[in-house]
């Protein structure tokens, strides 16, 4: 595959500027559009030409689209009207970003969003509702960026979904849902069109709130990163999946007795130029509050020594209560502030939406060990 040049045509005789090409590629890399795969094997080799005209190979962590290219283009075009045509938009997709249908079975997607998508797919031929999530949100709200609309307190759109009620109320249809019981499983269900529509109404309020929170958190993250200047620093942290310790040429009986190692991953945005990726490896396999304290104490000391001008540290992570979102961590914040003479603010992503650059660090380290 060839990479696109810095200036490309739009298909209508015009030439795209470098800024537009950069804008499109950054859009694809947004965590709202694509998902960073964390595994050791989740990588792709890209062949490209360097500044000296030589062919070089680069190993890049894979990302997966969270929607179709058509839906992604509609979102981009709503944000940047008339910037680019759909064909050129698809052509500029980075090589390491794979299509939605290539997502492996092991990927963890948000169950709330997936259940809504499954209901919309089932109702597609019985209502005028779109099965594209972002389009659906626009159908049932006046303004998807409005807090009132997304929390169902807007008088104009609180009951907008009812205008899409199906006419074939008693027709039985098949649909699927992720259900939690003794184990989480994808269930095949049969119900009337009206019952499926009622289930959609039941889940709507929760999914709108989650979507509003997710989008605003993504905007906050972008603003925090763009505001990094050496004094204000952003740090994202997470536990990677434990690494298996295996010998290159192990004997057969050793296959069932692999050891493991914990990988604690962190990425710091220092300013517009400098970034720091950190992966801490330990044979202590607990991912609880005690290990978090040790890892975070080490990382903060490291950052303060290397960047003494740091005065404000914005930390972001998922909201796992066993790891980060608990009272023991909050009791440590003041201690860390006194130790390093900085202010600390800890932010939590919405459930199942704490993806980011740190998801690729663990896979990169595991892959490096096997080279």
Write the CB contacts of 247 (distance below 8 Å, at least 6 apart in sequence).
Answer: 254
Among 215, 171, 169, 173, smallest CA distance to 190 is for: 173
Over the stretch 19-59, which tens digit does the pLDDT of each residue have? Answer: 888 889 888 888 778 877 766 677 788 887 777 778 888 88
In this prediction, residue 250 carries a pLDDT of 59
Among 84, 68, 82, 70, smallest CA distance to 25 is for: 84
In this prediction, residue 172 carries a pLDDT of 92
Over the stretch 171-221, which tens digit does the pLDDT of each residue have? Answer: 899 999 988 877 778 899 999 999 999 999 999 999 999 889 888 888 888
In this prediction, residue 14 carries a pLDDT of 62
In this prediction, residue 150 carries a pLDDT of 94
Q: What are phi and psi of 349, to 5 degrees?
A: -75, 160
Kindly report the average pLDDT of the chain as a whole number.
84
Instruction: Report, as an integer, the average pLDDT of 119-145.
Output: 92
Q: Is 322 exposed, middle or buried (0-12, 13-18, 19+ CB in 10 A)?
A: exposed
- Strands 34-36 and 63-65, by their bridges, are antiparallel
Is residue 193 helix, strand or coil?
helix
Over the stretch 97-126, which tens digit does the pLDDT of each residue have? Answer: 888 767 665 555 678 888 999 999 999 999
Please report which confidence band the pLDDT of residue 357 belongs to, taking 50, 70 and 90 as the band edges: confident
Instruction: Report, as an integer, the average pLDDT of 57-66.
Output: 82
Rounded Cα distance, 299 and 277, in Å: 11
Question: What residues does CATH 3.30.420 cover in the chain?
Answer: 227-247+258-369
Correct CATH for 227-247+258-369 of 3.30.70, 1.10.3470, 3.30.420, 2.40.10: 3.30.420
Over the stretch 237-257, which tens digit does the pLDDT of each residue have? Answer: 998 888 777 666 555 555 565
Q: Please state the pTM of the whole predicted model.
A: 0.70
Percent of the chain whose predicted confidence (pLDDT) is above 90 = 40
Rounded Cα distance, 28 and 36, in Å: 11
Among 295, 307, 233, smallest CA distance to 263 is for: 295
């Amino acid at each position: 595959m060839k990479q696109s040049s810095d200036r490309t045509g739009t298909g209508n005789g015009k030439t795209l500027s470098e800024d537009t090409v950069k804008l499109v590629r950054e859009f694809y890399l947004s965590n709202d559009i694509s998902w960073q795969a964390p595994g050791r094997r989740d990588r792709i080799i890209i062949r490209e030409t360097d500044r000296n005209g030589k062919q070089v190979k680069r190993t890049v962590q894979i990302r997966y689209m969270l929607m179709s290219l058509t839906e992604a283009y509609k979102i981009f075009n709503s944000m940047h009207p008339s910037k680019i045509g759909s064909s050129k938009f698809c052509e500029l997709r980075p090589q390491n970003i794979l299509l939605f249908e290539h997502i492996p079975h092991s990927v963890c997607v948000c169950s709330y969003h997936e259940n809504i998508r499954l209901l919309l797919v089932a109702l597609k031929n019985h209502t005028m509702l779109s099965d594209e999530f972002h389009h659906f949100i626009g159908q049932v709200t006046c303004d998807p960026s409005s807090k009132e609309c997304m929390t169902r307190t807007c008088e104009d759109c609180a009951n907008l979904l009812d205008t899409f009620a199906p006419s074939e109320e008693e027709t039985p249809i098949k649909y699927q849902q992720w259900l939690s019981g003794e184990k989480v499983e994808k269930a095949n269900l049969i119900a009337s069109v009206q019952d499926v529509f009622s289930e959609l109404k039941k889940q709507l309020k929760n999914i709108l709130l989650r979507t509003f929170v997710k989008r605003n958190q993504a905007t906050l993250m972008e603003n925090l990163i763009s505001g990094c200047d050496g004094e204000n620093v952003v740090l994202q942290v997470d536990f990677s999946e434990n690494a298996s310790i295996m010998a290159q040429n192990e004997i057969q009986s050793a296959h069932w007795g692999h050891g493991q190692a914990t990988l604690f991953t962190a990425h710091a945005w220092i300013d517009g130029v400098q970034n720091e990726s950190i992966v801490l490896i330990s044979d202590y396999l607990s991912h609880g509050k005690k290990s978090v304290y040790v890892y975070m104490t080490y990382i903060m000391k490291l950052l303060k020594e290397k960047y003494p001008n740091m005065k404000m540290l914005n930390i972001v992570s998922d909201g796992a209560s066993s790891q980060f979102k608990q009272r023991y961590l909050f009791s440590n914040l003041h201690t860390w502030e006194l130790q390093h003479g900085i202010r600390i603010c800890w932010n939590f992503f919405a459930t199942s939406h704490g993806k980011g650059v740190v998801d690729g660090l663990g896979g990169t380290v595991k892959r490096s060990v096997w080279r």
